[in-house]
Amino acid sequence: MQSWRDALNADEQADVDRILDSALHVARTYLGHASEFMTFALMTDGSGRVLEMTADDALRKKHLNAQALLDQTVTQLRQMANISRCSAIVSNTRLAAQKTDAIEVRIEHRAGAALMVLLPYTRARFTGALTFGDLKLFSHKAEVWV
């Protein structure tokens, strides 16, 4: 079976690695300050610099529609696709089968790779300390460069 890395050259692989590292760092920081975080996106510009994109304030309300937020995020990334090399959509999700929460990162590179990475985590009930599990990697469908 072909790995996503086989479809990318070294610079493109570096884009994916850099955006994944950035996504996990930002999500862990958010979780360190609150019990969850709003979906956000990252993209790399033409020079490889990682930029964060946040949702429209109209969607940042107490009873938000999670699907509407994801749809808007994909739309924003598509609008930026001509100046971006790589994108990531980062969400706080629940893994029902494992009975745990996870950071979900959907990464896509304009060269054709699309993958999803899950980082399970638990929060200690009384101390709030976070414990992270092992990264899980899955192939994913393209949403930005379709």
In a domain, 76, yes or no: yes
Asked whether 77 and 87 are in contact (CB, 8 A), the reply is yes
In a domain, 144, yes or no: no
Give 30-78 pLDDT, tens digit per residue: 999 888 888 899 999 988 899 988 766 555 555 567 788 888 899 999 9
In a domain, 50, yes or no: yes
Lowest-confidence region among 8-12, 20-24, 64-68: 64-68
Q: Is the pLDDT of residue 8 over 80?
A: yes
Asked whether 88 and 20 are in contact (CB, 8 A), the reply is yes
- pTM of the predicted protein model: 0.90
What pLDDT shows up at residue 107? 97
Domain count, the chain: 1
In a domain, 68, yes or no: yes
In a domain, 145, yes or no: no
> What's the domain range around 62?
4-139
